[in-house]
Structure 1
Amino acid sequence: MFLLGLSAWVRRQSWLRALYRLFPQRLRDKVSFMLAARASRRAHFERTPAWSRPLQAQAEIAAPAIARDDTPGVNIFAYLRGQFGLAESARMYGRALIESGYPVALHDIAIDLPHGLDDRSLDAHIGEDAAHGISIIFVNPDYLDEALKHIGQAKLKGRYLIACWFWELEEIPQDWLPALDLVDEILVATAFVEQAFRRVTDKPILRVPLPLCPVPDSGLGREDFGLAPERFVFLVTFDFNSWIHRKNPFAAVEAFQRAFPPERDDVQLLLKSSNGYRHPDNFLSLLALGARDPRIVVRDEVIDRAHVHALQRCADVYVSLHRAEGFGLGLAESMALGKPVIGTGWSGNLEFMNADNSCLVDYTLVPVGEGEYPHPPGAKWAQADVEHAAMHMRRLADDRQYAAELGRRAREGVLHTLSPRAAADAIAARLRDLSAASATKRAGADAPSGPPIMGSH
């Protein structure tokens, strides 16, 4: 805490900041990285004995009541062991298809990325087989060419290729556009992402909301996370690798402090981040904010999903004052637990959030700042109204009956909208349509039987 306090003090001294800027950039970066790495280690959760208990494994994929032989199979290429959003999305779609009885071949893409790659929940189903005529690849356009080379032509030639992509702004980046020539179709999880891609392509787009699959719970309680049992806890989670200005935790801090004066000590705000040391300046700024208010706790580390799920259970409210979201998995998972959520009323989270099941926060659209996020010229995103967010925080903390009812409606809404069976059936229906169209085309051309032929490979 001494280093953090010293760093915060230095940042407040204009003469020291001016002197610091005289040092070479490489030296400044090295100092910031060292400070952030040490601060990140200090910001880990303190381990109680409960942390050493064996974790409950992800539930085995349930054997389907009926194996569906009325639908063509699909290959799924993804970072199936990745510990980040796109990898988790692939596992969720894959699990939904398998548990619904549809034939699926899972293939892991082992590309080195700045993320954890230790999720083993689908290892029993991952193999090298890719015999189906249709494939879905969960790799964003900026890594697509590298991923296709990793997979190899032998597994791709003659396959109809669907890319599942997420994006957070209304405009697709120009450097993503060449990737459209490498795929035949796009799978998206929200109408927001669908509309963005429809502006730049006439290729088919299949919208299937992300299926919420069961998540194991480590069983940790509030005391294991250092949370006061009697306080009303607001939770914010984010990964620094996902761009802090997009996730915008600073707005949550401001809203919390506007909602509750310093003397009110029955509330708590937990900012749970990961990879802070990789982004030292922003991380140290966030820690400095927390150091000035004992009710604000900052924890930074990658923890198992079972622990994240337990943390969501222990919180009273989940908060996301994001500037843009492609989906908003933390919001959806918390709603599925029956938790009230506060979220910016813009972008992908509106696929499952509405004024009846959530606290939607007003916003204004503002330009994306230079260096805040990869974006085309003129791109805008949402700036949440922190006073409106503060109003929601106060109401939820002061009216527990209202909070409980909102949580009940939240759970009911997402379990319907984000149903695994509905997602699997929607994808399967598209696979059948593609197979039928391919068969018709082959019959008309008097061609031999085979998988759908891609036009772009």
Structure 2
Amino acid sequence: MRSLYRAFRSHVLQRLIPKSRVAFDPARPVEVAGYLSMMAGVGESARLCADALVSAGRTISLRDVSTHAGEGSSVEWTAAAQSSAKPGTRIWHLNPPMLPRAVLSTGLGEFARAYNIGYWAWELEVVPAEWRNGARYVNAVFVPSEFTRKAIAPLTSAPVIVVPHPVTEKPAADGMRAKFGIEDDAFLVSFIFSAGSSINRKNPQAVIDAFKIFQARCPKAFLLMKGSGDPAKDAGLAALYRSAEGNSRIRIVTDKLASSEINGLIRDSDAYISLHRSEGFGLTVAEAIIHNTPVVSTGWSGTVDFCDPNNTWNVAPSLISVVDTHPEFAALDGAVWADPSPEIAAGYLAEIHADPEAAKAKAARAKRFLIAYLEANTYEKALQTLASADR
């Protein structure tokens, strides 16, 4: 049934949505639409957007189209005061496969009365056909990285503008080591991932492999991986658990944690590692940088906009063909993604462990670079670009 719905959505629902003829009006309020009550990355994307627009002095409204609104109890976010005026612009923090349900629930007439911007994060150089259908009805597209811009721009004649997630240093809970029984003097390595967005793309198995190699040099090391998913229902996640069995220094948790607890875990880590095969941006990598945590990251895709050898430990990967059962990544002819080396990553962890002061200095450079990069590529500047183009 899911396969039938995906086909119906891609070829029928996407074509039912009309493109708005409304011109961009910078004086009217901006509505942020997305999974505002969900812990998912696309939900955080929408929340960051709303906060950034308010900080820039924009009048906003919010449209929560969450599919699992019950997750809201873990989302520590207070929405800004909203305007009751009809929005002139709407920014949809939903990728094309998520849009038809949200647009139809909003109403086609309501959709057509605003200038619609899709905020899309894609992780490969080859884009599914459904995204081309989605590109037909948006007036502009914002993307989180230059990597994603190069993939999306050929699909549309509409403006495609890079607007990285405006990450800021959020409250971080204390006592996260104690919460998970990790010694104060342990060298803590962390990684945050969602199995639902393709566990193969997030590549947590490579993180475990790298940690095991590093652990032979540093017995006091501890790896804590916070995943989202249910190992009883997800074969990939269950296999990941099995790969860590018998190693008391590796812990995988899928418990629900509040945003501040996740931030606290990242902040209290001695290193954050992401051996992703591909990222549209790399939100958790950016969050680790903002919290001044040394980062080991795959040197490919969206993260290279703000990660380089001067500020992070980048694992230069070979590229391999994409093989994945996730419906977004299956059967994409010619698609490739990264295959980062666990051995190289383990060497970088050893380097961080051997000279923590130098590692912290490098992490501080990463934070300064990221802040400057984000300030140079804001939502406000992107909206001003659209206003200039319409003059």
User: What TM-score bracket applies, with the shorter chain setting the length?
Assistant: 0.7 to 0.9
Match of 1:339 among 281, 293, 304: 293
Higher relative contact order (CA 8 A, sep 6+): 1
Deviations 1:138-181 (A, max 9, x none): 11101211111111234323321110000111111112221112
- Listed one character per residue, the Cα deviations across residues 309-338 of structure 1 (whole Å, up to 9, x for unaligned) are 111111110000000111111110111111
Q: Which whole-Å deviations, capped at 9, do the CAs of 1:67-124 have from their partners, x for residues lacking one?
A: xx984432222221121111111111111110121122222224x2498344362445
Q: Is the 8 A contact 1:163 1:183 kept in 2?
A: yes
Equivalent AA in structure 2 for residue 369 of structure 1 = V
Looking at structure 1, the residues matched to 319 and 352 of structure 2 have their Cα atoms a distance apart, in angstroms, of 26
Equivalent residue in structure 2 for 1:132, among 67, 87, 104? 87
1:81 alignment partner, one of 37, 41, 54:
37
| Distance in 2, Cα, partners of 1:247 & 1:308 | 17
Q: Distance in 2 between matches of 1:373 and 1:258?
A: 33
CA distance in 2, matches of 1:266, 1:336: 26
Map Cα deviations across residues 401-422 of structure 1 (whole Å, 9 max, x no partner): 2211111112212122123x85
Fraction of identical pairs, as percent: 28
Residue 369 (structure 1) aligned with residue 323 (structure 2):
yes
Amino acid at match of 1:187: F
In the alignment, which of 206, 225, 250 is matched to residue 180 of structure 2?
Answer: 225
Distance 1:221 1:165 in 2: 33
Q: CA deviation at 1:366?
A: 0.4
Name the residue aligned to 1:150: 105
Aligned to 1:254: 209
| AA at the equivalent of 1:247 | K
Residue of structure 2 aligned with 1:303, choices 257, 265, 285: 257
Q: Which residue of structure 2 lines up, in the alignment, with residue 240 of structure 1?
A: 195
CA contact (8 A) 1:77 1:107 kept: yes
User: Is residue 2:372 matched to residue 1:416?
Assistant: yes
**Aligned equivalents of 2:101 and 2:230: distance in 1?**
27
Write the distance in 2 (CA, Å) between the matches of 1:381 and 1:222: 34
2:268 is aligned, of 294, 301, 314, to 314
The alpha carbon displacement at 1:429 in A equals 1.0
Cα 1:120–1:412, aligned 2, differ >3 Å: closer, same or farther? closer
Give 1:42-191 correspondences, 5 Å limit.
71-110=27-66, 112-113=67-68, 116-118=71-73, 119=75, 121-123=77-79, 125=81, 129=84, 131-191=86-146
Q: 1:134 to 1:430 in 2, by over 3 A?
A: farther
Maintained 8 Å contact 1:163/1:187:
yes
Cα displacement (A) at 1:219:
2.4
In structure 1, C-alpha distance between the alignment counterparts of 2:80 and 2:380, rounded to whole Å: 23
Q: Which of 381, 387, 392 does residue 337 from structure 2 map onto?
A: 381
- Checking the alignment, whether the CA contact within 8 Å between 2:29 and 2:85 is kept in structure 1 is no
Kept in 2: contact 1:321–1:343 (CA 8 A): yes
Q: Deviations over 1:219-248 (max 9, x none)?
A: 234212321111111101111111110011
Deviates most, 365-374 or 299-308: 365-374
3-state DSSP class of the match of 1:170? Answer: coil
CA offset at residue 280 of structure 1?
3.1
Q: Does the 8 A contact of 2:34 with 2:64 survive in 1?
A: yes
* 3-state SS of paired residue (1:76): strand
- Aligned counterpart, 1:407: 363
How far 1:218 sits from its partner (Å)?
A: 2.4
Q: Secondary structure at 1:365's aligned position in 2? A: strand
Instruction: Confirm or deny that 1:357 pairs with 2:321.
Output: no
CA contact (8 A) 1:317 1:342 kept: yes
TM-score (norm 2): 0.87
Tell me how far apart the structure 1 counterparts of residues 324 and 262 of structure 2 sit (CA, whole Å): 32
Greater Rg by CA:
1
**TM-score of the aligned structures, taking structure 1 as reference length:** 0.75
- What amino acid does structure 1 have at the position aligned with 2:317? Y
Q: Return the letter of the residue paired with 2:194.
A: D
> Aligned match of 1:433 in 383, 388, 391?
388
How far apart, in 2, do the equivalents of 1:264 and 1:109 lie?
46
The 1:197–1:115 alpha-carbon spacing in structure 2 relative to 1, beyond 3 Å, is farther
The 1:367/1:95 distance shift into structure 2, 3 A limit, reads same
Instruction: Please give the alpha-carbon distance, in whole angstroms, between the structure 2 residues aligned to 1:71 and 1:339.
Output: 40
State whether residues 271 and 298 of structure 1, in contact with CA within 8 Å, keep that contact through their aligned partners in structure 2.
Answer: yes
Q: What one-letter code is carried by the residue in structure 1 that aligns with 2:280?
A: G
Cα distance change of structure 1 residues 370 and 189 upon mapping to structure 2, 3 Å threshold = closer
Task: Tell me the CA shift for residue 281 of structure 1.
Answer: 2.0
Question: Structure 2: where are the runs of 5+ without partners?
Answer: 1-24
Is the 1:96–1:424 contact (alpha carbons within 8 Å) kept by the matching residues of 2?
A: yes
**Count of residues in Structure 1 that have an aligned counterpart in Structure 2:** 364
Q: What residue identity is the alignment partner of 1:77?
A: A
**Alignment match, 2:238:** 284
Root-mean-square deviation (CA, aligned residues, Å) is 2.2
Partner of 1:198 in structure 2?
153
Which stretches in structure 1 are left out of the alignment for 5+ residues? 1-68, 438-457
Determine the structure 2 residue equivalent to 1:294: 248
Instruction: Give distance in 2, aligned partners of 1:342 and 1:315.
Output: 12
Checking the alignment, whether the CA contact within 8 Å between 2:49 and 2:165 is kept in structure 1 is: yes
* Aligned-pair CA distance for 1:374: 2.5
Whether the 8 Å contact between 1:235 and 1:269 is mirrored in structure 2 is yes
Matched, 1:348 2:302: yes
- Residues 252-275 of structure 1 show CA distances to partners (whole Å, capped at 9, x for unaligned) of 1111122231x7422111111121
CA deviation map 1:348-369 (0-9, x unaligned): 1112111111000011110111
**How far 1:386 sits from its partner (Å)?**
1.6
